[in-house]
Chains A and B, each alone.
Chain A
């Protein structure tokens, strides 16, 4: 089936919601580490799993640190925030100010990544909920180290949509802290009813409802 498209207005509205959401998360992270953290979402696309995979994941050869969280409600989604492992190392270690000579994320560092992801995802979903008048229940975050091509199939949410045509809200996310820049990728997997509902809510919000 063909994907629904976002209008320009809807696209802009989503971009703004996500940027406000990550802005709030950046405030929390800044407070935690006592240093300025800036977060921004340069682009948002509504696409499908296959396209999102091709665009962001298949050419990524590095191991990814992926943080999953499931949100359920009128719109249900499996959110996956991903950073190449080396970026995650840089992120965690700039946050805790630790010069650890290990090339892999330790268990404790993976937990820290789960917390960072949890803060970001909760902020975004909470902003989305407020703006579009949706309500969600959230799961606890889980973290795993995966390769790019197994990220979506690895999303262990019990009712996660896994077909290639399923909708994905896909965005890149940029971190700036301790004069370093770290980029990650964020995907919200949506089943068909959820995708439709989200577009409907967005249309109402931007005043495009028919």
Chain B
């Protein structure tokens, strides 16, 4: 057996050259002038370059695009101070134009790479040489992509309301807490709007639960269409209640969003014969605002939205009520507009 302790069999073809040619990773040696001195078969096969095209030329001459990235910088550093560098795939996905086959090359799909740069021991004697070692990490990258995809799918599922596709309560709680903390930290206003469908129980009794579900979906689409900023969030709060979170928004801004929502909903004129407010679907909205420098808890803010919503309902529904700042004791109830057509008129005349 060759592995017996009797010595090394020098007749085996396992010389350094054989290893360099057969190792399953790219090896490139660059001398102190940056000239390529070694380019193994793995590199030649995957770059489509022959040894005679590469050897004797500088690395940047062979691969001009390296001038932009970190590889050349790492080589220069290794030559200068002898420090090695590890270039990760995440931060340098594919610095070398290497392809696993012709089809991939035609599609410009490079091998995903991870690169190590090491220099020969300098210590002032011989000029340093630098060894670049390039591994194909495509399989690992693909595995991670799959993992991340599955995890984000799971995250989406666990944060989405199955019926409406809106953010669910779990997601709302998380976002609300984040936004609340951010607003306090950055001293910016934060507005929330609590929304309730008027006489929804009657709607279900009249039209049945399937139509009820359909109505919730329609309202959800309308609410989503009204929000303009990516930081705004609308979530299903429970049953026929929804909440809109509006970061960096004061009472004026929140009223404007609520008004738009009411207008757009009125335009749709979704039938709801049991609703004394014009026989169409209407909503009551309660707004609460956290103003900069105000001392309040998140629960306090939600309670204020609840109070506002209650005031909006008590004054006849299809209304918006606001608790704008801590000093407000009673919610301000905005212009009640009982019928859809009147509502449209009042918006047109800017009332």
Which positions in A face B, CB cutoff 8 Å? 28, 32-33, 92, 95-96, 100-102, 106-109, 111-112, 114-116, 118-119, 122, 125-126, 129, 135-141
A137 and B123 contacting across the interface, CB-CB below 8 Å:
yes
With beta carbons under 8 angstroms apart, the residue of B89, B116, B154 that contacts A108 is B89
With beta carbons under 8 angstroms apart, the residue of A33, A116, A140 that contacts B116 is A140
A139 to B92, CA, bound (A): 20
Which positions in B face A, CB cutoff 8 Å? 70, 73, 77, 81-92, 114, 116, 118, 121-124, 137, 140-141, 144, 147-148, 151-152, 154-155
User: What distance in Å separates the Cβ of A70 from its nearest Cβ neighbour in chain B?
Assistant: 11
- In this complex, the member of B77, B83, B84, B118 whose beta carbon has the largest number of chain A beta carbons within 10 angstroms is B83
18 residue pairs from A and B, CB less than 8 Å apart: A32-B91, A92-B90, A100-B148, A100-B151, A101-B151, A102-B151, A108-B90, A108-B141, A115-B86, A115-B87, A115-B91, A115-B92, A118-B84, A126-B77, A136-B83, A137-B123, A138-B83, A140-B118
B86 and A140 contacting across the interface, CB-CB below 8 Å:
yes
A111 to B113, CA, bound (A): 12
User: What distance in Å separates the Cβ of B155 from its nearest Cβ neighbour in chain A?
Assistant: 4
A107 to B140, CA, bound (A): 8
Contacts of A118 in B (CB 8 A): 84-86
Residue of A nearest to B112 (CB): A108
With beta carbons under 8 angstroms apart, the residue of B86, B123, B151, B155 that contacts A135 is B123
Evaluate whether A126 and B91 lie within 8 angstroms (CB atoms) in the complex, with A32-B70, A100-B151, A101-B155 already known.
no
Contacts of B91 in A (CB 8 A): 32-33, 95-96, 112, 115-116
B90 and A137 contacting across the interface, CB-CB below 8 Å:
no
Evaluate whether A101 and B84 lie within 8 angstroms (CB atoms) in the complex, with A108-B90, A111-B114, A115-B91 already known.
no
User: What distance in Å separates the Cβ of A40 from its nearest Cβ neighbour in chain B?
Assistant: 21
Evaluate whether A112 and B90 lie within 8 angstroms (CB atoms) in the complex, with A100-B148, A101-B151, A122-B77 already known.
yes
B88 and A112 contacting across the interface, CB-CB below 8 Å:
yes
User: What distance in Å separates the Cβ of A181 from its nearest Cβ neighbour in chain B?
Assistant: 12
Residue of B nearest to A103 (CB): B151
Q: Across the A-B interface, give the 4 residue pairs with the lowest CB-CB distance, nearest first.
A: A112-B90, A111-B88, A101-B155, A115-B88
Residue of B nearest to A121 (CB): B83
B81 and A114 contacting across the interface, CB-CB below 8 Å:
no
A159 to B77, CA, bound (A): 25
A41 to B124, CA, bound (A): 31
A12 to B151, CA, bound (A): 48
With beta carbons under 8 angstroms apart, the residue of B82, B114, B148 that contacts A101 is B148
Residue of A nearest to B151 (CB): A101
A102 and B147 contacting across the interface, CB-CB below 8 Å:
yes
Residue of A nearest to B155 (CB): A101
Residue of A nearest to B141 (CB): A108
User: What distance in Å separates the Cβ of B103 from its nearest Cβ neighbour in chain A?
Assistant: 25
- In this complex, the member of A32, A106, A108, A114 whose beta carbon has the largest number of chain B beta carbons within 10 angstroms is A108
B84 and A140 contacting across the interface, CB-CB below 8 Å:
yes
Contacts of B137 in A (CB 8 A): 108
B87 and A126 contacting across the interface, CB-CB below 8 Å:
no
Evaluate whether A111 and B86 lie within 8 angstroms (CB atoms) in the complex, with A96-B91, A101-B155, A137-B121 already known.
yes
User: What distance in Å separates the Cβ of A8 from its nearest Cβ neighbour in chain B?
Assistant: 30
A198 to B205, CA, bound (A): 84
Contacts of A102 in B (CB 8 A): 147-148, 151
Contacts of B118 in A (CB 8 A): 140
B83 and A108 contacting across the interface, CB-CB below 8 Å:
no
Residue of A nearest to B122 (CB): A137
A108 and B140 contacting across the interface, CB-CB below 8 Å:
yes
Contacts of A125 in B (CB 8 A): 83
Q: Beyond A112-B89, A118-B85: 10 further Cβ-contacts under 8 Å?
A: A28-B70, A28-B73, A101-B148, A108-B88, A108-B90, A108-B137, A115-B88, A118-B86, A126-B83, A138-B82
B81 and A129 contacting across the interface, CB-CB below 8 Å:
yes
- In this complex, the member of B84, B114, B141 whose beta carbon has the largest number of chain A beta carbons within 10 angstroms is B84
A96 and B151 contacting across the interface, CB-CB below 8 Å:
no
Residue of B nearest to A102 (CB): B151
A125 to B82, CA, bound (A): 11
A126 and B81 contacting across the interface, CB-CB below 8 Å:
yes
